[in-house]
Structure 1
Amino acid sequence: MIRFSVDPNYAGKNLPGWFMVASYLQKSIGQRVKFIPYKDFDEARNAVLSGEIDIVYANPFDWVFFMNEIGFLPIARPRNHFDEVIVCSKKYKSYLELTKPINIISAHKKTFVHMVGLFLLEKAEIDLDSCKFNFSGSYQSVIKNVLQSEYDIGFVLSEVYEKSSVIIKNQLNILDVSNDGFVFHAFCISPRLIELQKSITESILNFNSKLLDDIGFEGFETISEDEIFTISSLANEYIGSLNREAS
């Protein structure tokens, strides 16, 4: 049996669509595929690292980590779809209104969203030493905490914000938005599935329009070596900084 999961951000939405992805893969590659969703980043990561998952649609930080640590192979990425970051607030409309200490809510320290959020603050000349960070486990809960005015600002995956209701959007002020256009989620496979790499990849690249609509993408394409190198370099640099910070 092949066990399949997705980034927790996606497990909380379009859930029926991801079950359909598992069914599609099962029919396409001729092996039983079971979809297993997880609620938070740590639970999902631990499942992959402990060998409980064979195929995962992972966020950029995770697929680099899985590739480095346990030999997972990134095989496909969403077409014309990149991970961007929004810095939002309910209480403030501009960085200039912030007062120290700045209380910030983020989903998880080990995500590209948090890393890019820090870059945006530094670009805006915000002193990170004046910031206090808390982590909620999901981007939806980041928005919830910001709306309750428990924190000054929050880091949110732009896709999550865009798919929020008009009522929620109208209550949030956007202080900053990244526009890098190069970081992305990716389908990755375990080393034990290397012999099935071609058939799994072809199956993903040939998702039909109904299936793509169900999970909210226009299509998938292969990942270039240059893309893997660029994102890996950035992720490894950030991981190194976290390790130095912890030591």
Structure 2
Amino acid sequence: MPYQFTVSPDFGPEQLAGWHIFNTWLQRQLNTDIHFETFDNFENQRQAIREDKVDIIYANPYDASFLVREKNFVAVATPRKPDETTIVVQADSPIQTVEALTPGCTIAQTDDPDISMMGMIMLEPANLDAGNTEISVQDSYIQVAKTLIQGNADVGFFMTEAFDALSNLVKSQLRPLVSSDIQIVSHVLLIGPEMASKKDELTSKLAAMDTDSQGQKLLQSLKFEKWVPVDEEEMEFMIDLIEALAA
């Protein structure tokens, strides 16, 4: 039975082909069968994880805590692309600062857990929280942008990378208020207990990916510069930080 590989649902659709190619690369490098499957949302993916149907995952920082602490996954490598959050309003909104937002406002967001968490933390200067705001959950960041542009939400939470990737036409109708700058929280590639014996081999292969032209092209398709190995201490530090932010 092949190993099961998936990626966090928050990646852009333009990267899907790259992940399929990456899966083929994984199979060749590890000389084993690996099936790549995507999920439409985080809850469906988490259900698969709970049912032990995932062996390798490119996970967001929030879910990495559950995967490591509860499901005994281990970290292999990270692209060292910080996960940052940008709070956005419609271009002609009278709101100029976070502090100008008021209770009862509507927030458009995806179900991306770490971006939602960071967005709510960034609203604290306006004394806003889940109890005095309305949340409008959208399937994608494109839908978050559409909701704002149509005037159906007052503010939107975006992964900064996703906001930057929007077309110029869409971005011209939006205006960022503020972005986070944590720098040390990022997605990470994790493997489950069934693949634990392959950790050292996979770490070595990933770290060397940027040393040949084929690997460089694959990295570019994923919008990565390189993979950087992650040790247990680094992973525990990031998990502790996420849990502290969520507290």
Tell me how large the CA RMSD over aligned residues is. Answer: 1.9
Aligned to 2:234: 227
- Counterpart CA distance in 1 for 2:12 and 2:46 is 13
For 1:204, which of 198, 203, 206 is the aligned residue? 206
TM-score (norm 1): 0.89
1:74-112 deviation digits (Å, cap 9, x = unpaired): 111113x1000000011333335434411112212x611
Residues 138 and 68 (structure 1), Cα distance of their counterparts in 2 relative to 1, 3 Å cut: farther
Task: Report 1:27-106 matches (<5 A).
Answer: 27-79=28-80, 81-90=81-90, 91=93, 92-106=95-109
**Secondary structure at 1:228's aligned position in 2?**
helix
- Counterpart CA distance in 1 for 2:139 and 2:242 is 19
The aligned length equals 237
Q: CA deviation at 1:14?
A: 1.1
- Counterpart CA distance in 2 for 1:158 and 1:11 is 12
**Residue pair 2:98, 2:126 contacting (<8 A) in 1 also:** no
Most deviating of 174-183 and 88-97 = 88-97
Q: What is the one-letter code of the residue matched to 1:89?
A: V
1:103-122 deviation digits (Å, cap 9, x = unpaired): 112212x6111111111111
- Counterpart CA distance in 2 for 1:62 and 1:140 is 22
Q: What is the one-letter code of the residue matched to 2:45?
A: A
Q: CA deviation at 1:70?
A: 0.8
Residues 203 and 48 (structure 1), Cα distance of their counterparts in 2 relative to 1, 3 Å cut: farther
Residues 216 and 33 (structure 1), Cα distance of their counterparts in 2 relative to 1, 3 Å cut: same
**Residue pair 2:103, 2:128 contacting (<8 A) in 1 also:** no
Identical-residue share of aligned pairs (%): 26
Residues 41 and 13 (structure 1), Cα distance of their counterparts in 2 relative to 1, 3 Å cut: farther
Q: CA deviation at 1:22?
A: 0.6
TM-score (norm 2): 0.89
